[in-house]
Structure 1
């Protein structure tokens, strides 16, 4: 990672991308402000790996599951102070994944179908309030929140034109959906 910018500067998406990779720190960009969060605990990471495995094996060729990756929410034009989130898992168009592989950059929200956040002790409000509103504004059609509290549960939000995200409550045991494709998540096998 290149040197960090002055803390008073609001970063654009290009400036964020120019920072490069940093394997030691989890960075996100919130309205141009560089935010650092602690690395997830082992249980969080293990659950994320198991979730990725379940989702990845069920996806059709036109969709790709990617864990722990930057997503430009595209809330402002390219010269504005960007918002980049790093969800625990995304399901994205294969063409967008291939674009990033070929050209570099980060995934764009316009190609993301599902974003998943696993709630950590310090992220509950951010996941349920801040990121929920950001992902809805970015037009991401499905937002899943997995809560590690026993019993492990999933809330699946679906974006509507009139109400923003709506959900049918917490699910435990097994979660099934047909959008963006048929998926079954065995929550009891994640923990």
Structure 2
């Protein structure tokens, strides 16, 4: 067993805090903080994942009204011990070139594109944490025979949990957080035969 590099050791007995991520230049890109623990992407991302995130980002940015920004792979500081990095987020915060994270109250929508190593976190852990933080809309996207399937959730105010709002194949049309219409099949070309 090899020795862990010094930067991987938590700076205090309680583990890591949200602000620590900005002081870890040695950490791999896309490092998240979940319940005070650093979470690293353990496998290379598939081309399907990258194309889908890029395509969805471009489509949402094109359709977003003035005052709405679409970002990819930026962290959200949910609380002192949680700073997940969704694949895509929609925010009301103005563009700031030096920003490294967003506050949950500025985030309208979070989208996670499920990878084999992130399935549990995206379907359960992040679903609960984003709801607890008050983020109104959550999407998780799965690969179904190389086609995107989007599971859409909306925050139910009285209970503070997400309620399913639909599963979309082919076309995704939503009236919230703004008028959205996306041809999902165009985002990820099918494999050639």
| TM class by smaller structure | 0.7 to 0.9
Which position in structure 2 is the counterpart of 1:165? 162
Does structure 1 retain, via aligned residues, the 8 Å contact 2:75–2:100? no
Q: Which runs of 4+ in 1 moved over 3 A?
A: none
Contact 1:3 1:19 in 2 (8 A): no
- Structure 2 unmatched runs, 5+: 189-193
Distance in 2, Cα, partners of 1:133 & 1:174:
26
1:131 aligns with 2:126: yes
Larger RCO (alpha carbons 8 Å, 6+ apart): 1
Give unpaired runs (5+ residues) of structure 1: 75-79
Paired position in structure 2 for 1:37: 41
Query: What is the aligned-residue RMSD (CA, Å)?
Result: 2.0
- Greater Cα radius of gyration, structure 1 or 2: 2
- Do residues 83 (structure 1) and 88 (structure 2) align? no
Deviations along 1:94-147, one digit per CA (max 9) or x if unpaired, are 43x33xx35x44211110000000011122111110000000001100001111
Contact 1:153 1:170 (8 Å CA) reproduced:
yes
| Offset from partner CA, 1:154-177 (integer Å, 9 cap, x none) | 111000123410113311011111
- Determine if contact 1:17/1:106 at 8 Å carries over to the other structure: no
User: How many equivalent residue pairs?
Assistant: 179
Q: Offset at 1:9?
A: 5.0
State yes or no: 1:53 paired with 2:58.
yes
**TM-score, structure 1 as length reference:** 0.85
